[in-house]
Amino acid sequence: MKFPEPLRYRGREPWTTNPGDPYGLFVILPKQRSWAPAGLKIIASDGFAGDVDTHWEHASVTHIDDRECPTWTEMDAVKHLFWDDQECVVQFHPAESVKRNQHPGCLHLWRFKLGSFPTPPLDCV
């Protein structure tokens, strides 16, 4: 994940994290960015859960007012805010048998840290 650009959006209470921490809550207020007219809350992580590396960087994205899921434009902008242009970041749609929906208005971005993530042929994407 790239920092420092997201640092200007680092949230405070109740998620007190320090500048330089590779995780935290980031809040983009309405009209602060043209691509986020409703405002966004983003919880980002470098993939560590305590001392264990999951090998997946992660960002969960919701609207400030929890109205509905973020748009493609908003998710694409979050991708570019937290990751370099050449990094592959994905959204997953898991099997129904293992799916858990903790927040119906939240979408997630994931980046695999241990190498290139397989992708379909470029003409298909």
Q: Is residue 120 part of a domain?
A: no
Strands (E), 2-88: 23-28, 40-45, 48-49, 52-53, 56-63
Q: Is residue 125 part of a domain?
A: no
Q: Is residue 121 part of a domain?
A: no
**Radius of gyration over every alpha carbon of the chain, rounded to an integer in angstroms:** 15
Q: Is residue 76 part of a domain?
A: yes
Spell out the per-residue pLDDT of the chain, length 125, in tens.
665 566 667 766 555 677 677 788 888 887 777 777 778 999 888 888 778 898 999 999 999 887 789 999 999 999 999 999 989 999 988 888 888 877 788 999 999 999 888 888 888 87
102: domain range?
Answer: 5-114
Q: Is residue 122 part of a domain?
A: no
* Cα distances (angstroms) measured from residue 43 to each of 5, 9, 32, 116, 121: 15, 11, 18, 24, 31
Is 0.95 topped by the overall pTM? no
Domain count, the chain: 1
